Amino acid sequence: MTERSDLLRQIRDELIAATDAPLYAYRTANGYYPVAGMGNHYAKIMFVGEAPGENEAKQGRPFVGAAGRFLDELLNSIQLKREDVYITNIVKDRPPDNRDPSREEIAYYAPFLIRQINIIQPQVIATLGRFSMTWLLTRYNSPYQTKKISELHGKVIPLDVDYGQISLVALYHPAQALYKAADRPIHLADFKALEAFK
């Protein structure tokens, strides 16, 4: 077992046992699981979404519903599979009714994400949706932190993280294409920005 696997398993175990987590009571009352993340522990590309939905919380795996199927299609469009990348969220438990996470929830779960980034050390973080894009750009004090996703989607942005300079690629959340099918070509075009990091 590699050290990275051990460290990531430790994060998963901490989340399962986190009785002080703000969403712990909601999780256990509904028979949900925390969703730590899944994929290649040596991935060059890490995807970061906002928070798990109901399907994800039931299975303990990220992006397994309809949005996840579209994410698989996007990965396939640049000849990648889930096993090639690492997929996670900022918040590791499902918020009730899929509402936006609260500040308290982000403050609690975000350190787990930072640990995951530092363990895997991806060359690029692809944010899925405006929420994770803004949070990461702000956390790492990017000059782009006040920009909207409509301005930044598909662009490669330099990001100074704890282990050096990497890139961030802002992507619309795959669920958006489920509500607005006409935007599917935008998602596919934006995804091409990740080809350079394969």
pLDDT digits (tens, 9 = 90+) for 58-75: 999 999 999 999 999 999
Domain locations in the chain as residue ranges: 3-197
pLDDT, position 69: 96
Q: Kindly report the average pLDDT of the chain as a whole number.
A: 96
Q: The whole model's pTM is what?
A: 0.97
Question: Beta-carbon neighbour count of residue 79 at 10 Å?
Answer: 9
Average pLDDT of the residues in 43-59: 97
Would you state the pLDDT for residue 98? 87
Tens digit of each residue's pLDDT (9 = 90 or more) over 120-163: 999 999 999 999 999 999 999 999 999 999 999 999 999 999 99
Confidence bin at 118 (pLDDT 50/70/90) = very high
Task: Determine the average pLDDT of the residues in 6-21.
Answer: 97
Judged against a pLDDT cut of 70, whether residue 80 lies above it is answered with: yes
Q: Is the pLDDT of residue 2 over 80?
A: no
**pLDDT attached to residue 1:** 54
Look at residue 104 and tell me whether its pLDDT is greater than 90: yes
146-142-45 Cα angle (round to 5)? 110
Q: What is the pLDDT, as a whole number, of residue 135?
A: 96
Tell me, which fold does domain 3-197 have in CATH?
A: Uracil-DNA Glycosylase, subunit E (3.40.470)
Percent of the chain at pLDDT > 90 equals 96
